[in-house]
Amino acid sequence: MEREVAKQKIEELREELNQHNHKYYVENNPEITDQEFDRKMRELMDLEKEFPEFKDPDSPSMRVGSDLNKEFEQVNHRYPMLSLGNTYSEEELQDFHNRVVKQVGSDFQYTCELKYDGTAIGLTYQNGKLVRAITRGDGTRGDDVTQNVRTIRSIPLKLKGDFPDEFEIRGEIFLPLKGFEWLNAEKEKAGEMPFANPRNAAAGSLKLQNSSLVARRPLDAYLYYMLSENLPAMSHYENLMKARSWGLKISPHTKVCRSIDEVFDFIKHWDSARHDLPFEIDGAVIKVDDIKLQQQLGFTAKSPRWAIAYKFKAEEAQTRLLSVDYQVGRTGAVTPVANLEPVQLAGTTVKRASLHNADIISGLGLHINDLVRVEKGGEIIPKITGVVFEERPVESTPVEFIKSCPECEAPLMRVEGESAHYCPNSASCPPQIKGKLEHFISRRAMNIDGLGAETVNLLYTRGLVSTLPDLYRLKASQLITLDRFGDKSARNIITGIRKSIEVPWPRVLYALGIRFVGETVAKKLAKEFTSIDQLANASEEDLIAVDEIGKRIAGSILAFFKSEANQKMIEELKTFALQLEANEENNNHQQASNVLEGKSIVISGKFTKYSRDQLKEMIEAHGGKNTASVTGSTDYLVAGENMGPSKLEKAEKQGVTIISENQFLELIGEE
């Protein structure tokens, strides 16, 4: 075939296959058989192979994905990806409606949508081409999963029509129920653990490092929110309809509701009709349709004020309690899990349910062989919500919480005021040791390439690693002797371990696995205490003075550093040159001024110009210190609407200067 003829044929096949993809995956209205589609695809792939100069990353043949493994890059969202506030009753939804009416009047309409049970995604199109797909992440940054998303047939790589030069459209990637059943059947055939639910399967699929594997999974997507400097309309619904005309998949169930009563009708209909859908939903989303009104209503720090999610009541089933297992986590917390007679619930077979703690067991009054009510309310593991006492067997025995650790047999302890039982043997209890190692090497902590849960388990069982410093003593020669390890993989792990000493102080603090010290708390502590030694020597009063640190977290930190084993571990980690103190240059690069230097400031109430988190960032940027509670050493209380009366009373009693949001902005020169 001549080159020009081949080029024309390739373009024709691409156009035709894109149209058939859209008909099949978006409109659910195929025009040709699967066999005919496959024949055309093979013809295209053969031509592209013969004429590689016409290769195009947007070709439908590229939907098969790549075999290359690649860590996901974290990317900042251009627009924050906030979550929605939830409501569970008509009364709460009516309250939401009343708040909207109070702010903008009654002349508006809602757009109502289904709430898909999948994983959120943001798609960016430039000049009609898909250029980036980012997960929600923490709302500010997400994982770039573009290569994986390009394999999803219902997401167009190229658009048609009068689209803006650049825009983002957000939606939900999910796994249809038939696809979920097929995928779990395949996993069980391979002897692998099946997914707990379609949501987990979708999220797990999207995070696979091998996009060719993603391409084999029947993921789907609906899109529901457009963002751009150049929106086609000032109506949310009209924007979605416009997006549909460009080839994007918008749910046919999206509806404009002109009153709150119509919204209630929409919810009631889908609470019943959801069981007929080929995918899972867990509620409805209600949005003010007018974009100008959305802008007027604005946002809280976490969610828009112009939208809310109505969650359907969780589905329930009845089954028998067969036995109770006890699992030990990395912090030593012992969690009871019920083993159940298998029962169908919300489209999946349920065999286990969380019991959480001894108080839950006691409150339910559980006996072995009880007929129990099981609820699946969006949790990975369903929970037992009640007992059918009239069905209790005569000779049943009550469930009694264990007294000793199921792994190391150490007597369990329970801290006053807490619900969980703990194994105190953190130095010798196997699941605690392995859990701490897995947490330490995890991506958001030390991010050590090549190490995972299986490898940690192998290193532990072979006696090579039992403490965090042991990781830094490992040698490639030790790893090569283990099963499945070659010279290259061994060297990669050692390189990853050595590279981890570059991880900054806040993440090292998080990696240590101090109970109740998550990422956010670790960042706050690392900013206030610029070295491990400063933190280790802090008093309870010093710790509580840090914003959002209460007595529970402070007590956990004090107990951690009081432990001789932890003291020894930290001294050993110092010898391996980990970043156990802050880098001053990085610590101060965002300092705007020193106008608040040495000042302790409490933020309380709701504000009109900035969110509380934004105001706290301003305090830090100008040298001030955020504190959670009012004390005699507090310099300013920045008071917003609906602030707690106890804080106001305490501030007045202590003689603390009380200022408004505007006065605070004047103080830092941010009018």
Strand partners, 299: 304
Most confident listed range (19-23, 387-391, 599-603):
387-391
Between 141 and 133, the more confident residue is: 133
Report the run of H or E that residue 652 belongs to, with start and end. helix 645-654
What is the rounded average pLDDT of the residues 278-287?
92
Report the run of H or E that residue 388 belongs to, with start and end. none
Answer yes or no: are the C-beta atoms of 370 and 320 closer than 8 Å: yes
- The 3-state DSSP class for residue 607 equals coil
| Of 19-33, 285-299, 435-449, 559-573, minimum mean pLDDT range | 19-33
Answer yes or no: are the C-beta atoms of 353 and 338 closer than 8 Å: yes
- The 3-state DSSP class for residue 31 equals coil
User: What is the pLDDT at residue 631?
Assistant: 83
483-535 pLDDT per residue, tens: 878 898 899 999 999 999 999 999 999 999 998 888 878 988 998 999 999 99
Same fold for the pair 3-64 and 430-502: no
Q: In Å, how far are 38, 258, 363, 632 from 385, measured between CA atoms?
A: 49, 38, 10, 46
Between 138 and 29, the more confident residue is: 138
Going by C-beta distance under 8 Å and a sequence separation of 6 or more, which residues neighbour residue 267? 90, 93, 112, 284, 310
Percent of the chain at pLDDT above 90?
A: 51
What is the rounded average pLDDT of the residues 443-459?
88
Extract the tokens encoding 545: 């003075």
Residue 390 gets which letter from DSSP?
Answer: G
Where do the domains of the chain lie? 3-64, 86-311, 316-391, 430-502, 505-586, 600-667
84-98 pLDDT per residue, tens: 888 888 999 999 999
Dihedral over Cα of 512, 517, 519, 525: its sign: negative
| Of 34-48, 361-375, 437-451, 478-492, minimum mean pLDDT range | 34-48
Phi and psi torsions of 310, nearest 5°:
-100, 115
Per CATH, the number for 505-586 is 1.10.150.20
Q: What is the CA radius of gyration of the chain?
A: 28
Q: How far apart are CA 310 and CA 479, in angstroms?
A: 52
Extract the tokens encoding 495: 């390189």
Q: Residue 148: which pLDDT band, with cuts at 50, 70 and 90?
A: very high
What is the rounded average pLDDT of the residues 646-654?
83
Percent of the chain at pLDDT above 70?
A: 93
Q: How far apart are CA 290 and CA 296, in angstroms?
A: 10
Pick from 462, 456, 449, 434: nearest CA to 502: 449
Between 346 and 4, the more confident residue is: 4
Between 579 and 183, the more confident residue is: 579
User: What is the pLDDT at residue 188?
Assistant: 66
Answer yes or no: are the C-beta atoms of 47 and 10 closer than 8 Å: yes
- Which CATH class for the 3-64 domain? mainly alpha
User: What is the pLDDT at residue 589?
Assistant: 44
Pick from 139, 158, 135: nearest CA to 205: 135
Q: Residue 35: which pLDDT band, with cuts at 50, 70 and 90?
A: low
Q: Residue 41: which pLDDT band, with cuts at 50, 70 and 90?
A: confident
User: What is the pLDDT at residue 346?
Assistant: 65
633-649 pLDDT per residue, tens: 899 999 988 776 778 88
Entry pTM: 0.51
586-645 pLDDT per residue, tens: 444 456 788 898 888 999 888 888 877 778 888 988 888 888 778 888 999 999 887 767
Answer yes or no: are the C-beta atoms of 578 and 501 closer than 8 Å: yes
Extract the tokens encoding 541: 């009063």
Average model confidence (pLDDT) for the chain?
Answer: 87
Q: In Å, how far are 263, 440, 491, 580, 612 from 494, measured between CA atoms?
A: 58, 15, 5, 20, 43
Q: Residue 584: which pLDDT band, with cuts at 50, 70 and 90?
A: low
User: What is the pLDDT at residue 29?
Assistant: 61
- Greatest alpha-carbon pair distance for the chain in Å reads 90
Enzyme catalytic residues: 115
Most confident listed range (64-68, 139-143, 153-157, 200-204):
153-157
Extract the tokens encoding 49: 């192979």
Per CATH, the number for 430-502 is 1.10.150.20
Answer yes or no: are the C-beta atoms of 640 and 605 closer than 8 Å: yes
- Measured torsion, CA atoms of residues 457, 569, 507, 541, in degrees rounded to the nearest 10: 130
Q: Residue 318: which pLDDT band, with cuts at 50, 70 and 90?
A: very high
Full DSSP string of 277-329 = SSS-EEEEEEEE-BHHHHHHH-B-SSSBTTEEEEEPPPEEEEEEEEEEEEEE-
Pick from 103, 83, 89, 86: nearest CA to 264: 89
Strand partners, 132: 124
Length of the chain: 671
Q: In Å, how far are 15, 131, 163, 241, 496 from 244, measured between CA atoms?
A: 18, 19, 11, 5, 46
Give the CATH architecture of domain 86-311: 2-Layer Sandwich (3.30)
Phi and psi torsions of 85, nearest 5°:
-70, 145
Extract the tokens encoding 238: 């009209």
Residue 404 gets which letter from DSSP?
Answer: B
Which listed CATH number (2.60.40.1120, 2.60.120.380, 3.20.20.140, 2.40.50.140) goes with 316-391? 2.40.50.140
> Residue 83 pLDDT > 90, yes or no?
no
User: What is the pLDDT at residue 521?
Assistant: 87
Q: Residue 572: which pLDDT band, with cuts at 50, 70 and 90?
A: very high
Q: How far apart are CA 21 and CA 25, in angstroms?
A: 6
Q: Residue 70: which pLDDT band, with cuts at 50, 70 and 90?
A: very low
Answer yes or no: are the C-beta atoms of 217 and 179 closer than 8 Å: yes
User: What is the pLDDT at residue 34?
Assistant: 56
User: What is the pLDDT at residue 91?
Assistant: 93
Full DSSP string of 60-82 = GGGGG----B-PPPEEE-SS--P
User: What is the pLDDT at residue 404?
Assistant: 97
What is the rounded average pLDDT of the residues 475-483?
91
User: What is the pLDDT at residue 586?
Assistant: 47
Q: Residue 379: which pLDDT band, with cuts at 50, 70 and 90?
A: very low
Q: In Å, how far are 136, 193, 597 from 227, measured between CA atoms?
A: 15, 39, 39
Strand partners, 319: 372
> Residue 433 pLDDT > 50, yes or no?
yes
What is the rounded average pLDDT of the residues 154-171?
95
Give the CATH architecture of domain 600-667: 3-Layer(aba) Sandwich (3.40)
Query: Which residue type sits at 523?
Result: K
